[in-house]
Structure 1
Amino acid sequence: MKRKIMLGVLIGLLCVSLRGQTEDIKRKDVSLTVYNQDFALVRDIRSLTLKEGINEVRFFDIAARIEPTSVHFKSITAPDKCSILEQNFEYDLVSADKLLSKYIDKVISVISQDDVKYTGYLASYDGSQIVLAEDREKGPIFMINRSNIRDIEFPQLPEGLITKPTLVWSLINNKPGAHDVEVSYITGGINWVADYVAAVSDDEKSISLNGWVTIDNKSGTNYEDASLKLVAGDVFRVQKKAAITDRMEMKALSAAVPEQFEERQLFEYHLYELQRRTTLKNNQTKQISLLSAPRVAVNKVYTYSGALYNWYYYDAWQGLQCNKKVAVNLEFKNSRENGLGIPLPKGIIKVYKADVDKSLQFIGENQIDHTPKDEKISLYLGNAFDIVGERKVTDHKKIADNLYRDSYEITLRNHKKEPAVVKVIERPWGDWTVLQASHNYKKEDATTLVFEVNVPANGETKVAYTAEYKF
């Protein structure tokens, strides 16, 4: 403990030393524009006093993950009278090991837990030991276990270490006195994602949808009482950044919350501005309500795609296995008539449904991409337990070298107490034609054939069709 105090005092003296090199710079305002690609644009306005001529200014409390080449400085007070001659970004932060590295081949003193004092030249150090030589040629050599060290005494403050990342400017100023200056820069380590919670109604015909913004600040500094804007879209950057991997869990809320963000278009993206100020602390994850839609009409869609292969089997058709799972999707339109109608940032939607005791139970989740208004959203939530599918090839004929004719039978069994409509999706190959079918079908595109099949409660329905494939 005492060792830590001694190092803390040394670091404190270093802070005083650095502060003495410049006037106090008071922050007047800070604003953040956070992109959902792990970076943000910071706009920082501060007040400082400048003399006429060349000034050295140290700008503290900046992000540790700043991109130095993105820094832009201007004097709001006199933009044509003040400009940068030189800029340096200092990030060699003080630590116990950094202090020791400055004293290699120099004299320090180490005091052990049992009050034994060792003084000598620092020969080396690592995570477990410190090696001192009383005399560099004759010795003796002391190897002190770091877990047994109580104090380390350094003769004086080392040069070249700082306690926080710092921008250092050499400014030329022709208007002495007080200046308000604006510094903007890009920093990594700030990311945001949208998270959504949906609660399905008892009749499964609507959902209540709540959206949340999750902001993760690992940039290395705090942003007190900041204005906040969020940009959603795929902004191209030369180097891709990481996304948030850990999210805070949210409860499924059905109560309406006040609108806090104003949405508007920015170039080919969408911007969401928080209508109040907020504080983002370093290493903090913050959640802010984005939207609340108490009633959004949805359709529950059952989908069956029985083929497990995505190629044509030619004459190797016997013994083909099939998929028996029937997928369950919730589909809804992002429209104003449907209770939404705003651009939805990409994110994960967690879906819940109330049990008989009204407690919400988790029933699945999926991720949506950036979704403009009036577009349809389809959420795959899992597979139906009580609806089963089966698919088989019932006949295969080679008509010519490049022409084949196949017949299929698809069986859907519904073990539920109510009827179900299942969308059967087939993926034909080549130049194909349906010759006959037991049910109406729709050719959605060149490789998609769809049947809408009614399956009675506790019953089954068979779909049969024959198609020719020309290659």
Structure 2
Amino acid sequence: MIRCFAFLPLLAFSYVVAQEPTTAPTRLTIYNQDFAVARTTVPLDLHAGTNEVLTTNVTGQLEPDSVVLRDPSGRNLVHVAEQNYDAAVVDQQWMMEKYEGKTIDFQIQGPQVMESATGEQRVIPARTVEGRIIRAGGQAANGYPYNQPLIEVGGKMQFSMPGVPVFPATTDGLLLKPTLRWQIDDEKAARFSAELDYITHGMNWQATYNVVVPRQPIRRGRSWRRLSAG
């Protein structure tokens, strides 16, 4: 019996991504060149005039020039006057850059619960220190891989954060998910489910085949598919 193993690149592999019950499922056709074609639906309830529409049911590596929004039935024309895509989802680095040049609190010790000899418990609040963010740090634009944060604490500068940064709860402009926005002009009111197609990067797949060839004229084979998303 002869065993043959082969790694064969294929063109594409279709895959359906399960979503939350309130969102439409996304069908992916994943190619083995670090990209995929995504297809989902967006409910449209348009009135005559200008409509503002958005969806967060998109990936963080969407290619804006590839976006197509249309009525799959062909009964309605979707007139997109403007399109904007924002993938700058909020994280600690984003917040540090937003508050660059400003003073915030840094938590140097979390709240603690102390218990006395009599069993009485007392909560000691978290300890914080004020620091001014001179430089947020992160990816550098001059070719260096990383810039250290520069923080002023008590009139002195240091190249590290004194603790966990604590930002005001009133911070505006927070983006929790990648968002695709349209300005759609329509001559009359219409309600339908539009089809949204786009190209996204960061996905790949490969197939591995295990072919078993016995001495008799019978062919058996097994295959494995491995998906990866970055």
Is the shorter-chain TM-score for this pair beyond 0.5, marking a shared fold?
A: yes
Distance in 1 between residues matched to 2:43 and 2:198, nearest whole Å: 17
Find 1:86's aligned residue among 64, 75, 82: 82
Distance in 1 between residues matched to 2:74 and 2:188, nearest whole Å: 7
Q: 1:45 to 1:113 in 2, by over 3 A?
A: same
Distance in 2 between residues matched to 1:49 and 1:168, nearest whole Å: 15
Shift of 1:133: 5.5
One-letter code aligned to 1:131: I
Q: Note if 1:122 corresponds to 2:133.
A: yes
Find 1:162's aligned residue among 150, 172, 175: 175
One-letter code aligned to 2:152: L
Aligned to 1:461: none
Aligned to 2:185: 172
Contact 1:29 1:46 in 2 (8 A): no
Contact 1:124 1:132 in 2 (8 A): no
Question: 1:145-193: per-residue Cα shift (whole Å, max 9, x none)?
Answer: 44x624513363143x522222111111234353211111122233333
Aligned to 2:33: 37
Q: 1:170 to 1:131 in 2, by over 3 A?
A: same
Q: Unmatched 5+ residue regions in structure 2? A: 1-21, 111-125, 139-147
Question: 1:239-289: per-residue Cα shift (whole Å, max 9, x none)?
Answer: xxxxxxxxxxxxxxxxxxxxxxxxxxxxxxxxxxxxxxxxxxxxxxxxxxx
Q: Unmatched 5+ residue regions in structure 1? A: 1-25, 135-139, 220-471
Aligned to 2:198: 185
Aligned to 1:440: none
One-letter code aligned to 1:149: G
Q: 1:184 to 1:129 in 2, by over 3 A?
A: closer
Aligned to 1:197: 210
TM-score (norm 2): 0.66
Q: Note if 1:48 corresponds to 2:61.
A: no
Q: 1:35 to 1:43 in 2, by over 3 A?
A: same
Matches within 5 A, 1:2-401: 27-76=23-72, 79-113=75-109, 115-126=126-137, 131-132=151-152, 140-141=155-156, 143=158, 145-146=160-161, 149-150=163-164, 152-154=166-168, 156-159=170-173, 161-176=174-189, 178-201=191-214, 204-206=215-217, 208-218=219-229
Contact 2:49 2:186 in 1 (8 A): yes
Distance in 2 between residues matched to 1:69 and 1:81, nearest whole Å: 19
Contact 1:71 1:184 in 2 (8 A): yes
Q: 1:119 to 1:52 in 2, by over 3 A?
A: farther
Contact 1:118 1:142 in 2 (8 A): no
Distance in 1 between residues matched to 2:131 and 2:163, nearest whole Å: 15
Alignment length (residue pairs): 185
Contact 2:69 2:194 in 1 (8 A): yes
SS in 1 for 2:82: strand
Distance in 1 between residues matched to 2:188 and 2:177, nearest whole Å: 30
Contact 1:199 1:207 in 2 (8 A): no
Q: 1:192 to 1:151 in 2, by over 3 A?
A: closer
Contact 1:45 1:181 in 2 (8 A): yes
Distance in 2 between residues matched to 1:152 and 1:142, nearest whole Å: 19
Q: Which has the higher contact order (CA 8 A, sep 6+)?
A: 2
Q: Which protein shows a greater Rg? A: 1
Distance in 2 between residues matched to 1:102 and 1:113, nearest whole Å: 24
Distance in 2 between residues matched to 1:94 and 1:50, nearest whole Å: 30
Distance in 2 between residues matched to 1:173 and 1:215, nearest whole Å: 44
SS in 2 for 1:183: strand
Question: 1:271-323: per-residue Cα shift (whole Å, max 9, x none)?
Answer: xxxxxxxxxxxxxxxxxxxxxxxxxxxxxxxxxxxxxxxxxxxxxxxxxxxxx
Q: CA RMSD in A?
A: 3.0
Q: 1:126 to 1:180 in 2, by over 3 A?
A: same
Q: 1:48 to 1:56 in 2, by over 3 A?
A: same
Aligned to 1:8: none
Distance in 1 between residues matched to 2:67 and 2:201, nearest whole Å: 13
SS in 2 for 1:154: coil
Contact 2:86 2:180 in 1 (8 A): yes
Contact 1:193 1:215 in 2 (8 A): yes
One-letter code aligned to 2:69: F
Q: 1:46 to 1:157 in 2, by over 3 A?
A: same
Shift of 1:63: 2.2
